[in-house]
Amino acid sequence: MANLKEVRVRIASTSSTQQITKAMKLVSATKLRKAQGEIIQMRPYAKKIKAILGSLGGNVSSDVLTPFIEKRAVNKVTFVVVTSDRGLCGGFNANVAKLTVSLLKEKYQAQADAGKVNFICFGKKGFEFFSKSKYNTSVDAVILHQKLSAESTFEIGADIIHSFLKKETDEVVIVYNQFKNAATQILTAETMLPVDVKEIQAHNVEVTKSAGSKKDYIFEPDMNGILTTLIPMTLKTQLYKSVLDSQAAEHGARMVAMDKATDNAGELLKSLRLQYNQARQAAITREISEIVGGAAALA
């Protein structure tokens, strides 16, 4: 049985760790409320701008949409991987990495073998994982909480769209954790480019049914000019929504992880205190036995 000093040291260490995990849980809970509010406000806007694109999609010829919907032979693929900057959030980052690697092996193994897979990493953890792997990492990590904003995300989105239109990449896939609630994150992989025509048409059918008839629009200045602005805006909004989803999901995952860690520390403390009391009782019993034995020897 461990001596009393060793057990006391372990009790003090575990108690200190429990205080840290409890504090981290409270911090994550506070950050979660803010991040949850941001994504809840963002979702209706993202949904509406997508619906507008869907409603216009049924009124335009495919020639106008061709640069964005063109499905080319996939020689180069870009993954936008959204993770966190810090760990201690359970399997949050590992799950994103696993899904990305799984997609690579299932759909893009030939491109990976040829070194034609690039990663745009939002968050240090994703950057660290893929920079150490055999795959080519195209850009540095983007710090989520300290440097990231709507403007900077839109700039990155514009660079991605420009790269696709210049045929520097043939497909763009976003991998992230979608926020459902504090305890649940939905691992998601979405194709950002090329734009899914069927999805646009589905939005158009939904809008038409809700309106009761197909709308005849008057475009000002012209249909092509509107779509040239609207489609990139929709794609950049999709990217920003994914980042906000991931931020809220991260805080939820960390809050749950720290809550479980706090509970585990509590269980460990109970076990250690029981072990300490047993060791202390055994030491006292041994001392009493020695005193009684010494007294008996002198008698």
If phi over 0 gives left and psi between -120 and 50 gives alpha, with beta otherwise, what is residue 191? beta
Does residue 194 have a cis bond before it (omega within 30 degrees)?
Answer: yes
- Given the residues 7, 82, 89, 255, select the one marked as catalytic: 89
Beta pairing, strands 171-181 & 77-82: parallel
Does residue 44 have a cis bond before it (omega within 30 degrees)?
Answer: no
Beta pairing, strands 77-82 & 117-122: parallel
CA distance 286 to 268: 27
Is 89 labeled as catalytic in the residue annotation?
yes
Longest C-alpha distance within the chain, in Å? Answer: 116
Residues noted as catalytic: 89
